Amino acid sequence: MNQTVGQALEYVKKVLSEAEMYRQAGRALMFDQETICPKKAMERQGEVAAFMDNRAFALVKDPAFEKAALTLYEGREELGEYDRVMAELLHRQYLREKNITPEKDLEYSLVFNKAFVDWNCAREASDFSLFAGSLEKVEEVQKEMISLREHEEGEEPLQLYDIMLDDYERGIRMEDLDPIFEKCRTRLGDLLEKIRKSPKKIRTDFLSRPVTDAQQKELGEYLLGLMHFDFERGAMTTTEHPFTEGIGPDDVRVTTHYYPDNFASSMYSVIHEGGHALFDMNQPRENFESFIADGKTLGMHESVSRFYENRIGRSREFIHYIYPELSRIMPQVTEGVTPDEMYEALNEVKPSLIRTEADEFTYTFHIIIRYELEKEIASGTLKIADAPQRWRDKYTQILGVTPETDRDGILQDVHWSSGFGYFPTYAIGNFYNAMYYNRMKQEIDISAALSKGDLTPVNSWMKEHVFAKADRLSPAQWITDITGRKLTADDFLDYLEEKYSAIYEL
């Protein structure tokens, strides 16, 4: 490595180390805002967090830093693998933010913070009008930020929504998703009709038996322990909309929510968020040393969380294994219920209004609805004010259920308060994990491991094949590296058809 590149590397890491201090403080404040912060303090708390993030932004906008980062990018072939990826991610960030000043960055952050606060208020009141103004501002800001970007010389210009998608899943485009989602609508729609006509009746009365918060907390901690969640490096608490926050290298926090008549909601939010946490906890230490720990995409992350939630957590073997402990913690729930009845109930197919409570089978339809709405908003054919009715129409048309309130409709998800383009990553994640599940089962006996409640071989395989390179490869390179194949929905659709044909005796 020549001296100029070496000096640039040393300087860049020094600045990024300081910036990370601000960002980590900001993440801790945002976690507080979404968990225990008093309602009247939420907006101020978000403003303080935005200030901390803005201090980090100002450091990387300094001309001396930008010059050093450019030197690294131009000399990236002289760097080790982790530092080369850092240089490439910094260059991508530079092009995105080149024309955004620290003052503008803070202005944008405050818009997103206000939108989050307004969403909370609107959701509580079930009144979209309390959020509409902020959401319009979010749309305006997101489009403005995109308009300010620089592009590599010779790079093909993208459509607006493709750029939004790319921000969450690098390289994914509407031309990729449109045919995939159409195939999902066709194959899943056909099977849904067969399930609706099936004479098989699944007993679910026990799922709504009353439980206490303490029981749900104990079950959540048991499940996280079973997943090998490291409680010395992580914590669990409650929130309105469950999420996971990787605050620092040894600080990963998961959240859930408790409903007195729906223990399964918390059970599966814990497993889902626990999957996110395992991804963060098991990434290479070098990721933090080279500041690339955020290089993984949302599709990669959602693949892991939904892998643990569904492929593991909703499997017959896993449910049979945890049944005795579930009975000990919540005896009132399992009284008079067999393990097989519990398995079938936790896998019942029933079109519903709420994405996060949706069954594994109909979940994809919830994502397709949001994808279609986002495309319409990005293209200008759908105005924010008309979105609630469009939402209701889509649910009626695609799932045959119609939300009666905004809370059960357009206000159920927090994601749009920070922009558009996230939702497709949930479905992409399902496609990814179905592909690597099929590769995994060629090498280890997943069924035998789950029957013993031993996730060690599963976690070890995930660490080696899924976690290890996620921050260093593009999504397309990553899934090909794991499976030898390009992205497809076929594995996922085949899995659903096999599993639910068996459950419903089709």
Q: Name the helix (H) or strand (E) containing 238.
A: strand 234-238
- Classify residue 280 as exposed, middle or buried by CB count within 10 Å of its CB (0-12, 13-18, 19+): buried
Question: What residues does 255 pair with on adjacent strands?
Answer: 237
User: How far apart (Å, rounded) are the C-alpha atoms in residues 447 and 183?
Assistant: 29
Q: Could you tell me how many helices (H) and strands (E) the chain has, helices first? A: 22, 3
Place of tokens 């070098």: 286
How do the residues of the chain divide into helix, strand and coil, expressed in percent and rounded to 5?
A: 65, 5, 30
DSSP string, 106-119: HHHHHHHHHHHHHH
**Residue 155 designated active-site:** no
DSSP string, 131-155: HHHHHHHHHHHHHHHHHT----TTP
CB burial string 48-63: b at 16+ within 10 A, e below: bbbbbbbbbbbbbbee
User: How far apart (Å, rounded) are the C-alpha atoms in residues 233 and 248?
Assistant: 9
User: How far apart (Å, rounded) are the C-alpha atoms in residues 208 and 206?
Assistant: 5
From the candidates 43, 273, 302, 360, give the one annotated as an active-site residue. Answer: 273
User: How far apart (Å, rounded) are the C-alpha atoms in residues 182 and 358?
Assistant: 20
**C-alpha torsion angle, residues 353, 356, 359, 363 (rounded to 10):** 80
Q: Which residues are catalytic?
A: 273
